[in-house]
Amino acid sequence: MKRKDIMYGVRPIIEALETGKEMEKIMVQRGAGSEGIKHIMTLSRKRDIQIQIVPFEKLQKITTANHQGVIAFVSAIEYEDIFNLIPGLFESGETPFILVLDRITDVRNFGAICRTAECAGVHAVVIPAQNAAQINEDAIKTSAGAISRIPICRHKDLKEVLQFLQESGISIFGLTEKAKTAYHSPDFTIPMAVVLGNEGEGISREYFHFFTDSLAIPMVGEIQSLNVSVANGILLFEVLRQRTK
């Protein structure tokens, strides 16, 4: 059975890229250097689509069809632009509530995070163009369909996004176990964004200077860390509690 989430072959992928079809990533066979492949890589870089250089065997595991050294993973959604979305929220009288995910690559964690975000009233989820979970059927299923109901914004440079949010009057909070401020202490009724990092390394240090404050969830166990989707739920529903009390 042909997979619905992939495309293969030089010409079909070029046509899809030129017509603006959303792609999660493109795998290119190591050593492939045809003009068509080079054109695909140029188009992908212009659109900030992740390119992975892989051995022939990896492509063969995905499909044994005549892929010509290139396979594209088609996105299940249409991405939105955070730079256009924020002004619209303010104009409509909303108090922005944005979630920014730094290198959350696990598909199920991402799906669970989006499900919680939709339930808690988050207006948009921002992810990086590189090092982000693939939005596929597993992600959508884990999110219980929330990924199709909440705007997902994919951008190359999260620093640029955070600077834009800051300049737009949005307070930015980073959730990290290294912080001293308890997660329930700030006023979350203001325009705000929450930044979550991956479970291995946390939030990238380069983003911290954008934060209004760094927040921690108090814990008494020996492990002293939570699954990122669980931590996300605790903080987002504190925001919702404050906004609806």
pLDDT at 138: 85
Residues 200 and 108 in one domain: yes
Residue-wise pLDDT for 132-165, tens only, equals 988 888 888 999 989 989 999 999 999 999 999 9
pLDDT band at residue 1, thresholds of 50, 70 and 90? very low
Domain that holds residue 174: 82-244
- Whether residue 134 is found in the same domain as residue 156: yes
Residue that is last in its domain, among 50, 74, 98: 74
Q: Are residues 31 and 128 in the same domain?
A: no
Question: Do 105 and 225 fall into the same domain?
Answer: yes
SS (H, E, C) the chain: CCCCCEEECHHHHHHHHHCCCCEEEEEEECCCCCHHHHHHHHHHHHCCCEEEEECHHHHHHHCCCCCCCEEEEECCCCCECHHHHHHHHHHCCCCCEEEEEECCCCHHHHHHHHHHHHHHCCCEEEEECCCCCCCCHHHHHHCCCHHHCCCEEEECCHHHHHHHHHHCCCEEEEECCCCCEECCCCCCCCCEEEEEEECCCECCHHHHHHCCEEEECCCCCCCCCCCHHHHHHHHHHHHHHHHHC
Instruction: Quote the pTM value.
Output: 0.87
